[in-house]
């Protein structure tokens, strides 16, 4: 399986499909998942003639279950190592949830020519947790509960978490058991320690300065019924902070909309990439 080894010895697993001279799209997954969460998008864009790349974040999926480095700075350093190893030029970077924060920080720091466009999907930026500077954020107590359940009750907590993640707890929702089990499978492949520390990375990292530094065309996509990363405190604010960003919100769509509404999300991503 294709892997790179980072400076601290962590092995990062990645997928790299399509012609090497095709335009590259790199996908960044959310907590606590893996590159498999992008199956619907990678198959679609591969079929459209693009080169598609996705990695498993350290401690997640098939990457090393490292004891350290479960913070946004190290996540982004690993992305730099991978994009340098693959020598990606003019790439489109698409990140979901935690991966959206990862994209924001990477794109803000990337070398000239590396990034052509960016997409933040249901992203945790600019910051999730409630602070004096972010009074509309999610209270820390919520993340403390996620930490506790991840540490002591991970298997059941992850399975239960799929209900609000995909909006399956809403009246009239068509619950797909296979989708829930696939989410659970991905989560349980990773290390509990990585997932535990990763909660601070996605909830407490402030991406405000990163968003202001982004200088490539950017699309912000967010479901208006996102029960995990609330639209009003993240997606809308991110679009306001990125110069020239396009905001596309979706009434009734859940956090996991790349899976539940893949056809619509893929079509809108394609329009943006081609535009």
Q: What is the CA radius of gyration of the chain?
A: 17
Q: Let me know if 96 is a catalytic residue.
A: no
CB atoms within 10 A of CB 1: 7
15/148 Cα distance (integer angstroms)? 32
Catalytic, 255? Answer yes
Cβ pair 97, 229 in contact under 8 A: yes
DSSP 8-state assignment for residue 231: G
Active-site position among 37, 78, 210, 226: 226
Helix or strand run (H / E) with residue 270: helix 262-274
- From the list 97, 122, 203, 238, the catalytic residue is 97
226 is catalytic: yes
Hey, which bits of the chain come out as E strands? Answer: 3-5, 11-17, 24-28, 51-55, 91-96, 115-121, 218-223, 246-250
Q: Which residues pair with 55 in a beta bridge?
A: 14
SS3 of 219, please?
Answer: strand
DSSP label at residue 138? B
Question: Per the residue annotation, which of 28, 255, 261, 268 is the catalytic one?
Answer: 255
Instruction: Please identify every residue annotated as catalytic.
Output: 97, 226, 255
């Amino acid at each position: 399986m294709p892997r790179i080894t980072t400076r601290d010895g962590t092995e990062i697993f990645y997928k790299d499909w399509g012609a090497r001279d095709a335009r590259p799209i790199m996908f960044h997954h959310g907590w606590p998942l893996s590159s498999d969460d992008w199956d619907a998008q990678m198959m679609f864009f591969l079929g459209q003639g693009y080169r598609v790349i996705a990695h498993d974040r350290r401690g997640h999926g098939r990457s090393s279950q490292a004891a350290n480095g479960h913070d946004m700075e190290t996540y982004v350093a690993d992305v730099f190592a991978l994009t340098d190893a693959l020598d990606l030029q003019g790439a489109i970077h698409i990140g979901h949830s935690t991966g959206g924060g990862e994209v924001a920080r990477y794109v803000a720091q990337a070398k000239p020519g590396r990034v052509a466009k960016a997409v933040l999907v249901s992203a945790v930026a600019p910051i999730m947790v409630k602070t004096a500077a972010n009074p509309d954020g999610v209270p820390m107590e919520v993340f403390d509960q996620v930490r506790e359940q991840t540490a002591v009750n991970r298997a059941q907590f992850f399975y239960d978490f799929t209900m609000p993640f995909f909006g399956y707890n809403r009246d009239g929702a068509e619950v797909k058991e296979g989708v829930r089990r696939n989410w659970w499978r991905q989560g349980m492949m990773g290390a509990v320690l990585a997932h535990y520390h990763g909660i601070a990375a996605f909830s407490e990292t402030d991406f405000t300065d990163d968003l202001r530094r982004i200088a490539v065309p950017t699309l912000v996509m967010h479901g208006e019924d996102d029960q995990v990363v609330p639209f009003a405190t993240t997606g809308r604010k991110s679009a306001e902070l990125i110069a020239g960003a396009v905001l596309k919100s979706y009434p009734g769509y859940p956090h996991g909309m790349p899976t539940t509404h893949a056809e619509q999300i893929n079509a809108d991503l394609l329009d943006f990439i081609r535009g």
